[in-house]
Amino acid sequence: MSELIDTAAAPAPEAPGAGMSTETVTPAGSDSLSIREASNALAGYREKRDTSEAPQTEDATTPPTQEPADFTTEVDPDAQPAADNQADAIEPPRSWSKEEKERFASYPRETQEYLARRENERDAALRRGQNETATLRQNLEAREKALEQQQQQYEQLLPALMQQLQQQQMGEFADIKTQADIDNMARNDWQRFAMWQAHQMKVQNVQQQMQANYQRQQQEYTQKWNQFAQNEDNLFAAQATEMNDPVQAKEIATKAVETLRATGFTDDDLNKLWSGQASVSLRDHRMQLLIRDAARYRAAKASVPAKKAAAPATRTLRPGTPAERASDAQVNLDSLTRNLEASGKWKDGAELLLARRAARRR
């Protein structure tokens, strides 16, 4: 029993790896411990040790600590964040409509970047394709022009080639004139007959090409003429507005045909000239007559003064007075003026001019 007491009274050994100072657990006012007291002291020491080594956990009721705000960054009072945001803003594609651009501004930045990149790629591909197409078109136009020039040169050589073949036939086959001569040559001289046939094939080939060229030229001329006639009719209708009235148009056309016939044009000439099958020069005497009449008409029309306002009614004069004679002259002038406005002929203009001069001499 005394050995156990001595052992319990000895100091407790330091726990391995504790790394901390230990306290002697001895009740105050006593020199020795009982077994129960020693075990309780040992249990308390271990509990205190475990408590000190265990990690401390935050209480669930304790609010989490917030880190203090970092006030070390200096704020520039002259900074303009709005301007920076505008500078970094992504512009919508130019080809988009106003509504699409407004919708583009509402998209997230990643979406804007993606759409802008795709639109730029598409625009670049489109421009590249347009440049390639323009280059191909220029090359095709150059080739077409070169081919057209070659074709024109060939067409110009066909008549000379035909003339050369005809001269060759007259020299080598001058004795072949009838079908009997051809049959005789075929029976007696088959080699010359073969040469004659080959020559005839050349002549026929050239004739076919000349005929095909003539038909093509006629088609091109017809297309160009129709376009020319349409443009000229539109210009005439824009300047001669009175032709929009069917009644006036028919009357003017009838008088125009009568004037052209009186000048020397036949109905066949008028039909061919109107349809583009013939042409006429300004040096033609008939055209010179028409130009002369038009010039005289313009001069007579320019010499006619503007109409004056109607004079107020005067009292009735006795027959034979000078005022009545003056009134008759004015009536004559008014009649001649109406005739000129209705007909437009230079003869009516000349009569009016003479009547005005006579009225002024009275």
* Segments making up each domain of the chain, as ranges: 1-15+32-51, 89-172, 180-239, 251-279, 281-307+322-362
Cα–Cα distances (Å) from 22 to 14, 19, 46, in that order, read 7, 9, 10
Q: Say what the pLDDT of residue 2 is.
A: 43
Mean pLDDT of 97-102: 88
Q: Compute the distance between CA of residue 109 and CA of residue 93 in angstroms, rounded to an integer.
A: 14
Asked if 307 and 338 touch (Cβ cutoff 8 Å), the reply is no
Q: Number of helices (H) and strands (E), helices first, in the chain?
A: 12, 0
Q: Compute the distance between CA of residue 266 and CA of residue 286 in angstroms, rounded to an integer.
A: 11
Asked if 344 and 297 touch (Cβ cutoff 8 Å), the reply is yes
Angle, helix 35-53 to helix 2-9, in steps of 10 degrees: 30
At a CB cut-off of 8 Å and minimum separation 6, what does 340 contact?
Answer: 300, 301, 304, 348, 349, 352
pLDDT tens for each residue of 112-159: 889 888 988 888 998 899 999 999 999 998 988 888 888 888 888 888
pTM recorded for the entire structure: 0.42
Angle, helix 346-361 to helix 322-343, in steps of 10 degrees: 160
Distance of CA 113 to the CA centre of its chain: 30
Residue listed under structure tokens 């099958």:
277
Closest CA to 91 of 121, 112, 111: 112
pLDDT tens for each residue of 227-253: 999 999 999 989 989 888 889 889 999
Q: Compute the distance between CA of residue 210 and CA of residue 217 in angstroms, rounded to an integer.
A: 11
